[in-house]
Amino acid sequence: MWRQASAAALLALAVGYFYHGNPDLPEQILQYIGLPDFQSSPQSQHSLEQVIAAAWETLITLPTHRWSKVAVGVNACVDVVVSGVGLLQAMAVDPGTGLDHEVLHSKEDLKEAFIHYMERGAAAERFFSDPEAFQRIARSAAEYPGAKLYVGGNAALIGQKLATYPDIMVLLCGPVGPKLHEMLDEQIVVPPESLQETDEFHLILEYKAGEQWGSTRAPQANRFIFSHDVTNGEMSSLETFVASLDEFEPDLVVLSGLHMMEGQGKELWEERLKEAVLAISDIRQDIPIHLELASMTDKEYMSSIMQEVIPIVSSIGLNEQELLFLSQAGDGPHADLDAWKGIPDVGRVSDILLWVLEQHGRSEPSSEADLTRIHFHTLAYHILATVDGYWGNQAAAVMAGARVASSQACGLQFVDAGKVELKAPLEFHSSHGEPREKLSLNPAQPVTVWRRGNVTFHLTVVLVCKEPLRTVGLGDAISAEGLVYSELKAQQIE
């Protein structure tokens, strides 16, 4: 068996080698030597991915008015990435049954919550309450063979992505320890008040599609995140961040880290959220604010964010779990769904996006709310929903976000059509209920546009990486890229 496998691997290597020289060869060779067909998708499907990737390259263009200074805050940390199953085994934890915990108090809680999400293939982020136990786990994680350290925290990740554009000046506020400071792009400015003596470590337990532990099997690759991070948990840097904006004079503010407060308990977040709302309200009215949401579990907290924060920002970025949770917390459309099954239905997603913009946004000019833009991302497709008249270059922006998701998941700078696959349906509806429009995506012009009320939707598909290397920070990269390619339309003074 082993011999056969290694012989097959050698042949595959040789075939791979030939493939570069003559793309027509491998099919024949594979048939001849009787290896399983590793090109699982048919030839026509393969070319569909190439058509879409090529169309992105020609259609994605930067807007006329580009941001020159972007201020990003306030969560930043060092991510320690390890194999979840490997680390738990190294900690002498046995497999068992899954159970979700809103806050982790022990390594048993950690194991149960990890299994709960691993068997669903869903992402989650939790607070670990015991500082000593956390330190012990963090030490095992950092010493675990193959553990990798990365820049972490949505704000730092968005900052890093923006800093790849040499003409954008980036200010980052958040708890920046020595390790993180060393890893940040040189172009990023960190105010002295943000520097601290120790780093905030976050542990990221990754698992692969099909990975097995005991009776648990992961349907898709994903990660489970936890930390004992009080600085980020209290959003301690928010006031410093807002204060530094007067001097920095950004033309765009990107805010993230609200989800970190949830694990601190209601007493703290209730108080701190009020202060956060006051601080955010202090930001000059003419500077757009993008809020990046992340995994939350407390409906009351989500509901408070929806009532108090979402109306005072211009733009939000979120994924399918956060979108459904938003609807459940506010009794919106499809709130009766427990969870998405497979690829979220475009019509249902469209219904919820419209509801958010109409209920909590500025779809009516007389509304007090500022929200006019939602960048929605899920594994298989992205939608940029904007209230008409406020934003430009949406088609390029949504495609740019999908392009970065398609390349970065594979660890590449560009989309390799051979390493990705289309998972989204090319036909869908503008709404789940009637009246609805039947829509389709043309691979050569891969943005589908529809309107409902005063909102325009731009959808593009993701070319999903077949063997993703690193999925952490993908949402941040998508939102950052979408913002770089977005522009505000000049508004008449009211």
Ligand X SMILES: *[C@@H]1O[C@H](CO)[C@@H](O)[C@H](O)[C@H]1NC(C)=O
Here the tokens at position 145 are 């063979």
Minimum CB distance to ligand X smaller for 109 or for 358: 358
- DSSP symbols for 293-359: ------HHHHHHIIIIIGGGSSEEEEEHHHHHHHHHHTT-TTTT-SS--SSPPHHHHHHHHHHHHHH
Minimum CB distance to ligand X smaller for 116 or for 362: 362
Minimum CB distance to ligand X smaller for 37 or for 364: 364
Contact between 453 and ligand X per CB under 6 A: yes
Angle at 407 between CA 403 and CA 410, to 5 degrees: 150
Q: What distance separates the 2 farthest-apart alpha carbons in the chain?
A: 76
User: Out of 237, 363, 431, 448, which residue is the one contacting ligand X (CB under 6 A)?
Assistant: 363
User: Out of 145, 342, 365, 435, which residue is the one contacting ligand X (CB under 6 A)?
Assistant: 365
User: Out of 364, 427, 437, 467, which residue is the one contacting ligand X (CB under 6 A)?
Assistant: 364
In 3D, which of 179, 219, 221, 216 has the Cα closest to residue 197? 179
Whether the upstream peptide bond of residue 435 has omega within 30° of 0, thus cis, is yes
Q: Which of 109, 298, 370, 476 does the annotation list as catalytic?
A: 476
Site string for ligand X, 323-362 (x = CB under 6 A): -----------------------------------x----
- Min dist. Cβ of residue 356 to ligand X (A): 13
In 3D, which of 249, 233, 307, 316 has the Cα closest to residue 283? 249
Minimum CB distance to ligand X smaller for 23 or for 453: 453
Ramachandran bin of 153, using left for φ above 0, alpha for ψ from -120 to 50, beta for the remaining angles: left
Minimum CB distance to ligand X smaller for 219 or for 453: 453
Minimum CB distance to ligand X smaller for 146 or for 365: 365
Contact between 435 and ligand X per CB under 6 A: no
Pick the piece of the chain touching ligand X (CB under 6 A) from 8-16, 27-35, 78-86, 363-371.
Answer: 363-371
Contact between 193 and ligand X per CB under 6 A: no
In 3D, which of 143, 255, 261, 265 has the Cα closest to residue 203? 143
Q: Cite the DSSP H helix spans in 226-319.
A: 230-233, 238-248, 266-281, 299-304
Minimum CB distance to ligand X smaller for 387 or for 420: 387
Minimum CB distance to ligand X smaller for 224 or for 391: 391
Rounded Cα gap, residues 338 and 454, in angstroms: 29
Count of CB atoms within 10 A of residue 397's CB? 28
Count of CB atoms within 10 A of residue 306's CB? 19
Rg of the chain on CA atoms, in Å? 23
Minimum CB distance to ligand X smaller for 246 or for 388: 388
Size of the residue set binding ligand X (CB under 6 A): 6
- Min dist. Cβ of residue 363 to ligand X (A): 4
**Cα distances (angstroms) measured from residue 313 to each of 67, 196, 320, 374:** 17, 29, 20, 11
Contact between 454 and ligand X per CB under 6 A: yes
DSSP 493: P
How many residues are listed for the chain in this entry? 494
- Min dist. Cβ of residue 332 to ligand X (A): 15
Examine the residue annotation and report whether 476 is marked as an active-site residue of this protein.
yes
Minimum CB distance to ligand X smaller for 389 or for 425: 389
Contact between 386 and ligand X per CB under 6 A: no
Is residue 225 within 8 Å of residue 124, measured between CB atoms? yes
**Cα distances (angstroms) measured from residue 67 to each of 96, 162, 187:** 50, 10, 15
Rounded Cα gap, residues 351 and 385, in angstroms: 11
How many CA atoms are closer than 13 Å to the CA of 50, on its beta-carbon side? Answer: 7
* 408 contact partners, CB below 8 Å, separation of at least 6: 470, 474, 477
Is residue 357 within 8 Å of residue 371, measured between CB atoms? yes
> Which residues here bind ligand X, judged by CB under 6 A?
358, 363-365, 453-454
Which residue numbers are catalytic? 476
